[in-house]
């Protein structure tokens, strides 16, 4: 395990997946319109492309795993717009001061409420398609592919699915810690020290020295306190992002909310965690991967009950009572294929 300037963590592991016998309501794939990049507006340079596939409003399920011993970590890592390496133009600003820590921060400088997009293409060639707010605040976008060259573009909707390029650039990223992108908040897993579930996580694991115990407590809390929001699942729109405090207030959410909640709780305790979007069988879904020093990245969630490793899915565990059929289905890692990492 590489040691970087962000975190030094001992052995970790992971947990979570999907279930048989349960309808995947609200976890279906939602297609986003393709982004057609067209001519510039107001003299802002454009990027000529035919089209870029849109992002999908991922609704996620969760993966949770148990870990072996690790020293407690008390530092809550937060992204910072340091201002030492600022790029952009009159329309968009990129703070690339901390690319070595796994992220770039971007904000819109223009006026108006036209829809904005950020496209990030890393060394894997996969394009991540994000929405960007028009309120002039920085948002955090992770370098999920690790070290390498990243093409980043900010685009503004012209009409329909046509977008004008506001700004584009290429960054060379060299991470000081390979786990950095998965130890910090970002647009999909957005939290601070004041987020309620972050405070709850600290209380839940107080006095717990083993990572197995920490994960067990966090997992149990999510399963026992949250219920699935079938109404939201049937009406959710593309571009939906979890508001963790709002989800906590109603103690209910869709797969995405469950996943983002547990990811925030784990990362806030210094546990490298990937929020993965992909397919569970034929269903569009998501889960959590956690790193183990002895095993590497554990995929599709694993929970150690003291005798055997099991895959568990908090979303379905909370609605189906950890039935045997669920445990059997999610115990098969072959049911999962990754598409995006956040």
**Rg of the chain's alpha carbons, rounded to an integer?**
20
Q: Is 125 helix (H, G, I), strand (E, B) or coil?
A: coil
Tokens found for residue 212: 């197995």
Digit-coded pLDDT (tens) for 164-209: 999 999 999 999 999 999 999 999 999 999 999 999 999 999 988 7
Q: Residue 299 has what pLDDT?
A: 65
Tell me which CATH code domain 36-55+79-175 carries. 2.60.40.10
Which residues in 180-206 are b (16+ Cβ under 10 Å) and which e?
bbbbbbbbbbbbeeebebbebbeebbe
Which band of pLDDT confidence, cut at 50, 70 and 90, is reported for residue 49? very low
Q: Give the separation between CA 244 and CA 186, rounded to whole angstroms.
A: 13
What's CA 287's distance to the chain center, in Å?
Answer: 10
CA angle 148, 153, 155 (to 5 degrees): 165
Q: What is the pLDDT of residue 240?
A: 87
Q: What is the pLDDT of residue 292?
A: 64
CB 183 within 8 A of CB 2: no
- 217 pLDDT tier (thresholds 50, 70, 90): confident
Sequence-separated (6 or more) residues with CB below 8 Å from residue 338:
276, 277, 278, 299
Residue 80 in tokens: 């910072």
By C-alpha distance, which of 184, 138, 171 is closest to 5?
184
Query: What pLDDT does residue 334 have?
Result: 62
Check the CA dihedral 316-318-319-322 and report its sign.
Answer: positive
- When pLDDT is cut at 50, 70 and 90, the band that residue 59 belongs to is very low
Task: Give me the chain's average pLDDT, please.
Answer: 74
Give 81-136 pLDDT, tens digit per residue: 999 999 999 999 999 999 999 999 999 999 989 999 999 999 999 999 999 999 99
Mean pLDDT of 43-50: 34
CA distances from 172 to 121, 123, 231, 299 (A): 12, 10, 43, 28
Above pLDDT 90, what percent of the chain?
A: 42
**pLDDT of the residue at 148:** 98
pLDDT of residue 223: 79
pLDDT tens for each residue of 287-314: 788 776 656 666 655 443 433 334 444 5
How large a percentage of the chain has pLDDT more than 70? 62
Structure tokens at 244: 């963790």
Region 64-68: what's the mean pLDDT?
A: 33
On whether the CB atoms of residues 280 and 54 are closer than 8 A, the answer is no
Q: d(Cα 186, Cα 104) in Å, to the nearest integer?
A: 10
CA–CA dist 238, 261 (Å, integer): 19
| Confidence class for position 277, pLDDT limits 50, 70, 90 | confident
The pLDDT of residue 143 is: 98
């Amino acid at each position: 395990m590489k040691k970087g300037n962000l975190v030094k963590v001992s052995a970790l592991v992971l947990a979570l997946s999907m279930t048989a016998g349960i309808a995947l309501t609200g976890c279906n794939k939602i297609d986003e319109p393709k982004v057609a990049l067209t001519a510039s507006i107001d003299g802002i340079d454009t990027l000529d492309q035919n089209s870029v596939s849109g992002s999908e409003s991922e609704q996620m399920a969760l993966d949770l795993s148990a870990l072996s011993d690790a020293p407690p970590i008390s530092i809550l890592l937060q992204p910072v717009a340091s201002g030492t390496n600022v790029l952009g133009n009159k329309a968009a600003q990129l703070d690339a001061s901390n690319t070595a820590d796994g992220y770039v921060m971007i904000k819109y400088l223009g006026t108006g409420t036209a829809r904005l997009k950020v496209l990030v293409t890393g060394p894997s060639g996969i394009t991540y398609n994000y929405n960007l707010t028009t309120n002039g605040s920085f948002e955090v976008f992770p370098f999920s592919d690790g070290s390498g060259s990243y093409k980043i573009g900010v685009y503004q909707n012209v009409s329909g699915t046509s977008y004008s390029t506001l700004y584009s650039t290429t960054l060379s990223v060299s991470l000081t810690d390979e786990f950095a992108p998965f130890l910090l908040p970002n647009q999909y897993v957005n939290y601070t020290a004041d987020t309620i579930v972050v405070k709850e996580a600290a209380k839940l694991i107080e006095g717990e020295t083993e990572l197995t115990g920490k994960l067990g407590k966090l997992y149990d809390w999510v399963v026992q306190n949250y219920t699935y929001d079938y109404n939201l699942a049937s009406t959710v729109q593309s571009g939906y992002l979890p508001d963790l405090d709002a989800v906590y207030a109603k103690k209910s959410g869709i797969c995405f909310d469950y996943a983002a909640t547990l990811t925030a709780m784990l990362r806030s305790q210094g546990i490298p965690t990937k929020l993965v979007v992909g397919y569970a069988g034929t269903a569009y879904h998501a889960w959590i991967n956690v790193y183990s020093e002895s095993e590497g990245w554990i995929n599709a969630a694993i929970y150690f009950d003291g005798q055997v490793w099991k895959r568990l899915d908090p979303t379905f565990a909370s609605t189906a009572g950890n039935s045997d059929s669920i445990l059997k289905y999610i115990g098969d890692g072959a049911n999962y294929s990754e598409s995006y990492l956040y």
